[in-house]
């Protein structure tokens, strides 16, 4: 029997969701879930391994043929109930993410709870109209499910990443085994409960909590898995691709980023800088697509640095449960140490500390808090200009002309996202075409859940969201007449 997370006190969970029911874990061990703001223990969940993964994959394989053969209406019905369940659980989702991730409650409600609901709704609309059959010449081309999906999700946007993988996979007719991040398993358990309440057939969705090295590795290598959808670091993504490649499994990889926000001459500099700071500091900087590099023409460089410092002052770390808080803690002690190492390294390499730094945050002796930081005088080869920090750190670089700006923007191993600001949209769009990156916001363009999300170069393979995200889970068969 599932125990619900009790954020006021400790909750011990010993079960996994496998084959349509909560079942005792077959593997020994547990994962402790901490509140990153208080460092108190919230709960424990099973540290599943090969035995749990075997059971989950076996259940998914048993369900695969029947679920894959359903008509779209038969998939739409439980998916609609799941969407409605997400809508009804918005407050519980928000509270869970605030507790286990440390996201500020306002941001958690709008993004961590609200965005998954929007994405789920978008896939209902896509499923209702997607052409799973198409005539091309003397052929009928059938779009069929790709098979059993291993969905491995990160902690930084825990429910959004679950929904962005699981919902399109289920919509495509694929059964799923989900392995969520160790730091944020409670919202994954909440999601599994909503799936159960929505009435999907047994085995169509399965949840195994565990570590990446045990449960994750067993799932990726399992011969019963046909497709691996992974979001996480580029280093781990390479290992996932190598393991899957040996078995000729399909992979979808959404990996790291070091995105550039380029402010061209004639743009509204103040707005561009303020939006950039908000972009980087959201979710405590734990966003793979964040514009962590601000590129400004050398003539207005110092003005941009000053604007960034002023904007940074609005972000005072605090209790994520307080509605006034705009920036909470990092997810764990390891992330805190990582960000501080990057900050100290930047100063050692010659960067100028404008605001922030690696010193502890005053008045917050408990919790994994880091100072929101702006670094200037950063050169393109510095570590902080090349590597993903995953914290609230903005580096500001000057450029000489547009060619130099494009060279700097493209001058990292990554290519996930970016921004361009110009006097008009046409100028911004023309420059954006020169960028080797998967998604570019022009003059503050809004996030679009129907547009494909994913990267160039070391930022990954494949796309999530919208029609392109659905098609990641389909394979094609041609019938010639």
Which residues have a catalytic role annotated?
Answer: 254, 288
Q: How do strand 30-34 and strand 21-24 relate by DSSP bridges? A: unpaired
**Is the Cβ–Cβ distance between 257 and 416 less than 8 Å?**
yes
Angle, to 10 degrees, between the axis of helix 90-101 and the axis of helix 158-172?
130
Contacts of 105 (CB under 8 A, 6+ apart): 94, 98, 320, 321, 322, 323, 325
Q: With 0-12 CB in 10 A as exposed, 13-18 as middle and 19+ as buried, what is 259?
A: buried
- Minimal CA–CA distance to 254: which of 237, 276, 274? 237
Rounded to whole angstroms, the Cα distance separating 13 from 11 reads 6
Q: Give 28's DSSP letter.
A: -
CB atoms within 10 A of CB 82: 25
Length of the chain, please? 481
Rounded to whole angstroms, the Cα distance separating 414 from 170 reads 30
- Minimal CA–CA distance to 251: which of 224, 219, 274, 229? 229
CB atoms within 10 A of CB 478: 12
């Amino acid at each position: 029997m599932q125990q619900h997370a009790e954020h006021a006190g400790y909750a011990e969970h010993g079960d996994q969701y496998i084959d349509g029911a909560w079942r005792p874990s077959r593997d020994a061990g547990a994962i402790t879930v901490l509140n990153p703001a208080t460092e108190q223990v919230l709960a424990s969940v099973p540290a599943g391994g090969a035995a749990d993964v075997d059971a989950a994959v076996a259940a998914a394989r048993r369900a695969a043929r029947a679920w894959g053969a359903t008509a779209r209406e038969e998939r739409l019905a439980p998916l609609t109930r799941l969407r409605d369940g997400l809508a009804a659980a918005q407050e519980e989702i928000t509270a869970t993410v605030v507790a286990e991730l440390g996201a500020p409650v306002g941001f958690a409600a709008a993004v961590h709870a609200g965005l998954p609901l929007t994405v789920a709704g978008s896939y209902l609309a896509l499923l209702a109209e997607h052409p799973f059959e198409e005539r091309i010449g003397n052929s009928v081309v059938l779009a069929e499910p790709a098979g059993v999906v291993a969905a491995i999700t990160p902690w930084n946007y825990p429910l959004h990443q679950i929904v962005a993988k699981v919902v399109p996979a289920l919509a495509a007719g694929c059964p799923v085994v989900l392995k969520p991040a160790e730091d944020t398993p409670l919202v994954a358990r909440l999601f599994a409960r909503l799936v159960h309440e929505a009435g999907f057939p047994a085995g169509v969705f399965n949840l195994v909590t565990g570590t990446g090295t045990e449960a994750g590795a067993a799932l990726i290598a399992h011969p019963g898995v046909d497709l691996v959808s992974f979001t996480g670091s580029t280093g781990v993504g390479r290992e996932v691709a190598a393991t899957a490649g040996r078995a000729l499994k399909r992979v979808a990889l959404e990996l790291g980023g070091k995105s550039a926000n380029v402010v061209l001459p004639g743009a509204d500099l103040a707005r561009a800088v303020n939006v950039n700071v908000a972009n980087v500091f959201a979710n405590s900087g734990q966003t793979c697509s964040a514009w962590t590099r601000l590129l400004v023409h050398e003539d207005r460089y110092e003005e941009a640095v000053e604007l960034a410092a002023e904007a940074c002052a609005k972000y005072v770390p605090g209790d994520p449960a307080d509605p006034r808080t705009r920036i909470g803690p990092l997810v764990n002690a390891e992330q805190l140490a990582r960000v501080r190492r990057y900050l100290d390294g930047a100063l050692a390499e010659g960067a100028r500390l404008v605001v922030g730094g690696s010193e502890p945050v005053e008045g917050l002796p408990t919790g994994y808090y880091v100072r929101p930081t702006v670094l200037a005088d950063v050169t393109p080869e510095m570590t902080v200009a090349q590597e993903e920090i995953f914290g609230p750190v903005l580096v500001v670089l000057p450029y000489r002309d547009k060619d130099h700006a494009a060279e700097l923007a493209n001058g990292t191993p990554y290519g996930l996202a970016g921004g361009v600001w110009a006097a008009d949209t046409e100028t911004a769009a023309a420059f954006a075409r020169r960028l080797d990156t998967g998604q570019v916001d022009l003059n503050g363009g809004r996030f679009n859940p129907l547009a494909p999300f994913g990267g160039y170069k070391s930022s990954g393979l494949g796309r999530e969201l919208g029609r392109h995200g659905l098609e990641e889970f389909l394979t094609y068969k041609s019938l010639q007449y």
